[in-house]
Amino acid sequence: MSHPRKKKGSGHALAASLALLLSSVTAPALAEGPTLSEEAFESSKQLYFERCAGCHGVLRKGATGKNLEPHWKKTSADGKVTEGGTLKLGQERLEKIIAWGTEGGMNNFSDIMTEQEIKDMATYIMMEPPKPPEMSLAQMEATRKVYVEPKDYPTEPLHGRNWENFFVVIERDVGKVAVIDGDTKEVLAHIPTGYAVHVLKASEHHKVTEPEHPGRFWYTMGRDGKMTKIDLWQKPENMLVAEVKIAYDARDVAVSGDGKYVIGGGYWPPHFAIVDAETMEPKKVVSTRGTNVDGEYVEESRVAAIYTTPNEPTWIVAVKELGQLWQVDYTDLDNLRIDKINSAKFLHDGFFDPTGRYFQIAANASNKMVVVDTETHKLEAMIDTAPLPHPGPGANWNDPNCGPVAGTTHLGEGTVTVWGNDPKNRPDDAWKVCYEVETDGAGLFIRTHPDSDYIWADQTKHPEPEVQQSVQVISKETGEIVKTIQVTDEEGNVAVHFEFNQDGSEVWVSKWNRATSKEPNGEIVVYDAKTLEEKARIKGLFAPTGKFNVYNRSNHVT
């Protein structure tokens, strides 16, 4: 199906970890109100942290997802009081929401949870939420493990392969990362990591402080807060070289421009930790609790995403609930400089423009893309978008009308929003919507390559399986959808996430099974980037999601 563009104006380690830490917290002894057996309470608590806390928060105060406290009260600026809560919704209504999802972007869980689990979860979220403990540097250090000493690292690759065209692939539901040879399509390793790795980052080429061998070392962040270090020069069986746990619930990680430090961001505790990139020794922890852009104190202000600025010796830390981007200077850890940049809620994920100066990130609850100038450490612009923007790793390209542009998909509707992002040469088009493309369904990811004529967008958030299982390819020249590709028609599978290979000749798409499986039932489908025809299917993978090409990621190819 082709749509013309619209012009402007148109369970696992995480659960076990938290269950252990919260083992002393049992079901509240209430005289009245919802109750669960101790076994059902523990099971629901475990499942909530696995499946729900990411959107709704550990304390259930909401972010991308709605507030799930038993009872809440809000007072608007004009003094109007609004009340709500899960108790008001009630058991039957909550069960339906959990089972079938909502039009606002919540997944249906009918194919992930059993009927009893859904029933227990509805009761559980009508009870007061348990609060997990904090985590100190000493506690982090106690979790550190070194499998290969830095002095024993090889001085050249031991496998004789083109490691810069390796793909590092998240095998989400089994807590592993696969390493695939992009030239031969061989799966070389399944590396144990933290539970449900959200993202991986490598050392990158940097304008100021160039690291040694960018892309060699990769760092993962599991939802259980475990950070692992992978050395792609090792033989496959020895690629996991070290690990450390920096939180109980976490999402992102980044490497300093000089390759000396790694930063990990926690959902709980709400903090970020800086570790030595070579030894993984924890060096500093900084709380992200604070006052949000509305002047309200937020206890659970989580680190949603972290990025290394290509031109400055800093990281960008997105503090989700505060609506702030913290630009953290890592040149002096003892006297850490942090510039806190107000923007909008709730910050999620983003990407840089081609110059590396401007950082573009989704504030999805505000329906905006936020732009920060990393040279001045100041807010540059905020761009209105369709509901719930979600660019993933994002996409930059040249448009015949607006010049250099960037784009995002949306969780809330089937739209790709495109805006100008070259304030130096195209100031009249910069940070203004150039056009929109109507797609068949809401999606999570958009991706392109400088040598490609196309932009790829998935439709994973659409409720109909047939649409979830297809991706759409958009022409850079016309802004029209030129092809809808049905990646799979297998029940329970969706098509998600894109990555180009080193030279931009191939596009890799994940065929991901939403249900947890102990068998390697996932695939990566490889397409010719010019003809859009299928070339290969890489099998033997466990629920593959995000894929990261070593060359593209370490060289800022978007």
Contact indicator for 288, 318 with CB cutoff of 8 Å: no
3-state DSSP assignment of residue 264? strand
Contacts of 397 (CB under 8 A, 6+ apart): 404, 405, 406, 407, 448, 450, 455, 476
- DSSP at 106: P
What distance in Å separates the CA atoms of residue 469 and residue 462, rounded to the nearest whole number? 9
Task: List the one residue out of 100, 98, 95, 118 whose CA is nearest residue 40.
Answer: 118
Measured distance CA(478)–CA(242) in Å, rounded = 48
Token pair of 552, please? 């593209």
Contact 146, 242 (CB under 8 A): yes
Structure tokens at 296: 């309200």
HEC readout, 110-179? CCCCCHHHHHHHHHHCCCCCCCCCCCCHHHHHHHCEECCCHHHCCCCCCCCCCHHHEEEEEEHHHCEEEE
**H-helix or E-strand containing 370?**
strand 368-373
**Which residues are identified as catalytic?**
52, 55-56, 106, 348, 390
Write b or e for each residue in 455-482: b if 16 or more Cβ atoms lie within 10 A of its Cβ, otherwise e.
bbbbbbbbeebebbbbbbbbbbeebebe
250, 264 contact by CB (below 8 A): yes
Q: With 0-12 CB in 10 A as exposed, 13-18 as middle and 19+ as buried, what is 382?
A: middle
Rg over CA atoms, the chain: 22
CB 223 within 8 A of CB 193: no
What's the token pair of residue 5?
Answer: 């563009």
CA distance linking residue 183 with residue 327, whole number of Å: 38
Q: Which residues of 2-33 are buried (b: 16+ CB within 10 A; e: fewer)?
A: ebebbeeeebbbbbebbeeebeeeebeeeeee
Q: 392: phi > 0 → left, psi -120 to 50 → alpha, else beta; which?
A: left
Strand order in the sheet with 493-500: 493-500, 506-513, 522-528, 534-541
> Are the beta carbons of 408 and 421 closer than 8 angstroms?
no
